[in-house]
Amino acid sequence: MLTINLAILLPFLAALFILLFLRRFRRFHIGWFVLIIPAILFALLLRQIPNIANGKTLIHQINWIPSFDINFISYLDGLSLVFGLLITGIGTLVVLYSIYYLSTEQSLVHFYIYLLLFMGSMLGVVFSDHLMVLYVFWELTSISSFLLIAYWYQRKGSRYGAKKALHITVLGGFAMLIGFLMLYVVTGTFSIREIIETIHLYKDHSLMTPMIIFILLGAFTKSAQFPFHIWLPDAMEAPTPISAYLHSATMVKAGIYVVARFTPVFGGEALWFWLVSSIGLLTLFWGSFTAIRQTDLKALLAYSTISQLGLIMTLFGIGSLSLHPDIHVESVLYTQAVFAALFHLVNHSTFKGTLFMVIGIIDYQIGTRDLRRLGGLISFMPISFTIAMIGSFSMAGLPPFNGFLSKEMFFTAILHLKDFDFFSIQTFAGIFPVVAWIASVFTFIYSMMIVFQTFFGPYKEQPGVEAKEASFGMLIPPVTLSALVVLIFFFPNILGDYVIKPAVLSVYPGVTNEMIGSISLWHGFNKELLMTIGIIILGIILYIYRTYFKKVYIAFPRNISFDTLYNNALEFTDRLAKGITNFYMTGYLRHYVMYIFLFFIIVLGGSLYYLGAFTFSLNNDQPVHPFVWMIASTIVIAGMTIFFAKTRLTAILVNGYIGFAIAMLFVLFRAPDLALTQLVVETVTTALFLLCFYFLPEWEKTKVVRKVKMTNIVISISVGTIFTLIALSVKSGKLFRSISAYFENADELAGGKNIVNTILGDFRAFDTMLEVIVLFIAGIGVYTLIKYTNNKGVEKLEDK
């Protein structure tokens, strides 16, 4: 049987296979091969549903870096199964859709390699039990999504959207890494399962607050929560299959997964509840409010996705209250919020995936997504209209579609928030239903905009475009998802009992199936139904008079927004970076050397002086031989002579003398190997200097300002003094036995009588090999430059 670890690696292996063997098959649509991968994984996960529903879990471990307690541990439980099914199931439909959406004339190899990398990374996120492994896959999702968003890199908007998504999500990932490291410091383990089991011992730890903040920063940035939502609309520059996959079913759900997975860890904490629920509610409102002002259908869906993610996040925040120590889980009420969150998570993936694909069909067939240029398409695209109506009405929360059921459960959780009497919840409990209801009205309005402004009214003919229905193959994925939208409504408990309930049990370890309850199609005439009726009535009125309603957006000008703040921050950072770079990148080598030496003087010298490390004694030193004094004196004199040399030849010869004099010192210190090496190196270096300087123009010594001379003298003397003091201090302050004693047994340990040779060839052979590789790479670079220069010269001669 395919292990979970292999399931994670399979997309990466498929991407490697495409890169090595399929990149030259231009007439063959690679999508047909790629389609096999998510289909196999989806089928394998479907087979695990009975096992997971019966309370089993699958764990598989591969030792990775055991010295740092980092192992590749995969963990399949109810929660990870839900996300795994979405990743592979929606992934299968997206690949099938892309086969008909993208032509073989485009760079399909890159597209499917990036898509498989992203799929494998997402599976790694949801199946990983180790914090560090989860983080690695987390950042891989950011990188692969960057590549997918920038797939049409020729477009400025694609490059801008990709960089924006990368900036925000990677910064959030760094914050989450800090939170993970704090969690390890507190609990002493990287295993998420072990952390959940032992976290009750550390609830009063001082790092609990910063851990919550840093981990939620990562989750909020990835799931496009306010105010980090600004990357998602710009990411819509990607092809529609990418938008349907990343931004409705997978990538944005990664942040939701982290919040769900760590709810057992931080649930019951006031900060966790208020941050997750309030930010989620604010995102729900702002996303739906902003969606109405959009004229591009994909931009509208982007803000609707932001809003729906806020709804799910709010439910997880409310559900975290059930883990408060004062709560005893005895009724369906306390698990309803998390159940609704997971249920709406699945519903959102179905109806939003449907809508993205339909809008992609409209763009593909008509050539525009602009609502102002669309209308009357129902006569030409009846199937697309039916699919769009099902997806939009489900998003609006209307029966008989699955979105209605999860929206009603959302209202139930919001209305019962007042039953909790801690964290000052009752003071603000009345705000939550009001904001949620208003946001739902906006959701109804933009859902109606998708259907009626696109498919009804007079047909606006596009020049050179014949409006017609899409091909059968392109319709299969959205038809499949829209069928699920309807089927889930009529048979919700099949999904609820076998998929959603096991996931809820992963969030609430002490809960049983009987405490979770079930989904009902009819709840009677209650407050939730009255709220829905009010949404429909007010939504219809505002939709009819939307021309007047949109005047409210005058109070929210586009030049005063978080997008503008982001762009201004980038411009300021760019100007600051250019200013700093221009300050120290002067183009003069002597300035760069001066910076390096000043760094050594200030940082190294200052640190050692502050720590009192400059301590040495010369009492036990051996007397210096007169010949050593003589050679050392000539080296100093030669070094000073270089500054007064009139020609390059004189400077090279004096510099060569210094090297040969050092070789003589090695002879006096009884190190013939080092002396021989020094002689060879110095001879080659001197010859190379002479060869290079032969081709340079005449040496015109410029007049140096006296102030510059004094600065150079001070820096030179300071560097020499610091390194002399360091050498004396190291020699006088030996804290450990010298390692040279170990190498004295070179003959016995390595079979060589020459200690230097054994060190280079045996003890540090790997390091020596890497040095040789570096030299080899440098040689290739030199050869390439020479070859390139010669080719250019030949081309110039041919031109003449």
For residue 292, what pLDDT is reported? 93
If asked whether residues 265 and 353 sit together in one domain, one would say yes
If asked whether residues 725 and 639 sit together in one domain, one would say no
If asked whether residues 652 and 730 sit together in one domain, one would say no
Considering the domain boundaries, does residue 80 fall inside one? yes
- Pairing mode, if any, of strands 70-76 and 58-65? antiparallel
For residue 106, what pLDDT is reported? 81
Spatial distance between the Cα atoms of 451 and 359, rounded to a whole number of angstroms: 11
Considering the domain boundaries, does residue 506 fall inside one? yes
3-17, 286-300, 421-435, 688-702: lowest mean pLDDT where? 688-702
For residue 26, what pLDDT is reported? 65
87-101, 167-181, 598-612: lowest mean pLDDT where? 598-612
pLDDT in tens, 498-524: 999 999 998 887 777 777 778 888 777
If asked whether residues 769 and 724 sit together in one domain, one would say no
Better-scored residue on pLDDT, 45 or 591: 45
If asked whether residues 686 and 729 sit together in one domain, one would say no
3-class SS of residue 76: strand
CA distances to 738, 762, 763 from 748, in Å = 19, 12, 13
Considering the domain boundaries, does residue 316 fall inside one? yes
Q: Which helix (H) or strand (E) element contains residue 64?
A: strand 58-65
- 732 near 744, Cβ under 8 Å? no
pLDDT classification of 79: cutoffs 50, 70, 90: very high
If asked whether residues 159 and 307 sit together in one domain, one would say yes
Please say whether the dihedral angle defined by the alpha carbons of residues 284, 287, 291 and 296, taken in this order, is positive or negative. negative
Please say whether the dihedral angle defined by the alpha carbons of residues 603, 606, 610 and 615, taken in this order, is positive or negative. positive
pLDDT classification of 800: cutoffs 50, 70, 90: very low
If asked whether residues 246 and 294 sit together in one domain, one would say yes
* Tally of domains within the chain: 4
Spatial distance between the Cα atoms of 37 and 596, rounded to a whole number of angstroms: 53
- Statement: residue 594 has pLDDT above 80: yes
Largest CA distance in the chain: 108
For residue 786, what pLDDT is reported? 75
pLDDT in tens, 364-400: 999 889 998 898 899 899 999 999 999 999 999 999 9
Considering the domain boundaries, does residue 568 fall inside one? no
If asked whether residues 532 and 644 sit together in one domain, one would say no
- Structural domain that includes position 763: 743-800
If asked whether residues 751 and 603 sit together in one domain, one would say no
Spatial distance between the Cα atoms of 538 and 32, rounded to a whole number of angstroms: 47
- Statement: residue 147 has pLDDT above 90: yes
Considering the domain boundaries, does residue 166 fall inside one? yes
For residue 304, what pLDDT is reported? 94
If asked whether residues 799 and 657 sit together in one domain, one would say no
Considering the domain boundaries, does residue 549 fall inside one? no
If asked whether residues 512 and 652 sit together in one domain, one would say no
* pTM confidence score: 0.81
- Statement: residue 792 has pLDDT above 80: no
- Statement: residue 556 has pLDDT above 90: no
Considering the domain boundaries, does residue 306 fall inside one? yes
Of 683, 701, 719, the domain-final residue: 701
pLDDT in tens, 476-491: 999 999 999 999 999 9
Average pLDDT of the segment spanning 18-29 = 77
pLDDT in tens, 771-788: 889 989 988 888 887 777
Interior/surface letters 66-95, b for 16+ CB within 10 angstroms, e for the rest:
eeeebbbbbbbbbbbbbbbbbbbbbbbbbb
Considering the domain boundaries, does residue 150 fall inside one? yes
Average pLDDT of the segment spanning 678-706 = 76
Task: Count the Cβ atoms, other than its own, within 10 Å of residue 426.
Answer: 13
pLDDT in tens, 126-145: 999 999 999 999 999 999 99
> Cα 738 vs. chain centroid, distance in angstroms?
46
Of 544, 570, 604, the domain-final residue: 544
Query: Six-digit token pair at 581?
Result: 């770079």
If asked whether residues 716 and 694 sit together in one domain, one would say no
63-77, 534-548, 588-602: lowest mean pLDDT where? 63-77
Spatial distance between the Cα atoms of 39 and 87, rounded to a whole number of angstroms: 11
Average pLDDT of the segment spanning 110-122 = 94
